């Protein structure tokens, strides 16, 4: 229920007809949201500001652009899990976050949030070799995955060096497997996260949306902010 009105939070879903959008809509009601706008490539942005409290976007980079612009114009909080963003789009996120609350994460699962925090421990093994692998379904458009890039950026900062490009495997219906290999001369450590289904990302995104709606302060947040 909305803290402000006691009613369900009015939610616009961008990428509504997609795999992730469908999961979001299936779970939204139980999470205290009412889906008041469903947007995809075919449906234009003729949405009125009063119909929407918050926007959740799982689409493509073009959908992300439209959603972000609409949120800035209408001063609405924005949650996005869309991957494959350009450097320019990442800069636009930072700029927009001066005006509205934004939560962006290339992976909305708590498991990846915790795995990402665990990478700090690899500072003790900084002279080892490291590699990131990812496996996803054969319809995935971006490569490497946004999650692999998130882990690569985090681990690169921990070790203070550039890592080899992540390995990407595409096949079947795999929702997402990520592995971080730490390889020493006489031993190996492997951290692995496996998503069993897309509900895990949808639940995480709705939890993030609820958190961001209550926060209601401009800024650029990521999933780790929920677990601090």
Structure tokens at 184: 């020493």
**Among 25, 37, 47, 105, which residue interacts with ligand NAP (rule: CB under 6 A)?**
105
Is 136 designated active site?
yes
Cβ nearer to ligand NAP, comparing 106 with 151: 106
Asked if 179 interacts with ligand NAP (CB under 6 A), we say no
* Residue where the block lists tokens 């929920």: 226
89 forms part of the interface with ligand NAP (CB under 6 A): no
Helices (H), the chain: 19-28, 61-74, 87-96, 110-118, 146-159, 199-215
Instruction: Decide if residue 21 touches ligand NAP (CB under 6 A).
Output: yes
Distance, CA of 149 to CA of 84 (rounded, Å): 10
What residues contact 38, with CB distance under 8 A and at least 6 apart?
12, 13, 16, 17, 21, 25
Q: Which of 108, 148, 150, 212 binds ligand NAP (CB under 6 A)?
A: 108
Instruction: Decide: 179 and 132 in contact? Cβ < 8 Å.
Output: yes
**How many residues bind to ligand NAP according to rule CB under 6 A?**
29
The interface region with ligand NAP, picked from 58-66, 71-79, 90-98, 158-166 by CB under 6 A, is: 58-66
Q: Do 137 and 107 touch, CB atoms closer than 8 A?
A: no
Query: What's the sign of the alpha-carbon dihedral 207, 209, 212, 214?
Result: negative
| Residue 58 contacts ligand NAP per CB under 6 A | yes
Q: Which of 66, 74, 92, 224 binds ligand NAP (CB under 6 A)?
A: 66
DSSP 151: H
Told to judge if 99 belongs to the known catalytic residues of this protein, a careful annotator would answer no
Q: Catalytic one among 38, 48, 98, 140? A: 140
Both tokens assigned to 98:
């001066």
Report the catalytic residues: 136, 140
Q: Which residues bind ligand NAP (CB under 6 A)?
A: 14-21, 39-42, 58-60, 62-63, 66, 81-84, 105-108, 142, 146, 201
């Amino acid at each position: 229920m909305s803290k402000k009105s006691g009613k369900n939070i009015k939610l616009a879903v961008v990428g509504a007809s997609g795999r992730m959008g469908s999961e979001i809509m299936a779970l939204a009601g139980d999470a205290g949201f009412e889906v008041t706008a469903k947007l995809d490539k075919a449906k234009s942005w003729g949405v009125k500001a009063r119909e929407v409290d918050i926007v959740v976007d799982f689409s493509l980079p073009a959908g992300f652009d439209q959603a972000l612009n609409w949120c800035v114009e209408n001063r609405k909080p924005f949650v996005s899990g869309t991957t494959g963003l350009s450097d320019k789009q990442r800069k636009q996120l930072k700029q927009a976050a001066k005006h509205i609350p934004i939560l962006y994460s290339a992976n909305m699962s708590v498991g990846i949030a915790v795995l990402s925090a665990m990478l700090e421990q690899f500072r003790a093994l900084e002279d080892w070799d490291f590699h990131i692998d990812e496996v996803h379904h054969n319809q995935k458009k971006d490569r490497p995955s946004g999650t692999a890039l998130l882990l690569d950026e985090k681990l690169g900062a921990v070790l203070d060096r550039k890592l080899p490009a992540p390995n990407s495997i595409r096949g079947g219906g795999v929702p997402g497997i990520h592995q971080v290999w730490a390889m020493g001369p006489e031993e190996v450590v492997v951290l692995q996260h496996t998503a069993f289904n897309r509900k895990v990302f949808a639940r995480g995104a709705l939890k993030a949306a609820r958190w961001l709606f209550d926060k209601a302060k401009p800024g650029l947040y990521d999933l780790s902010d929920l677990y601090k």
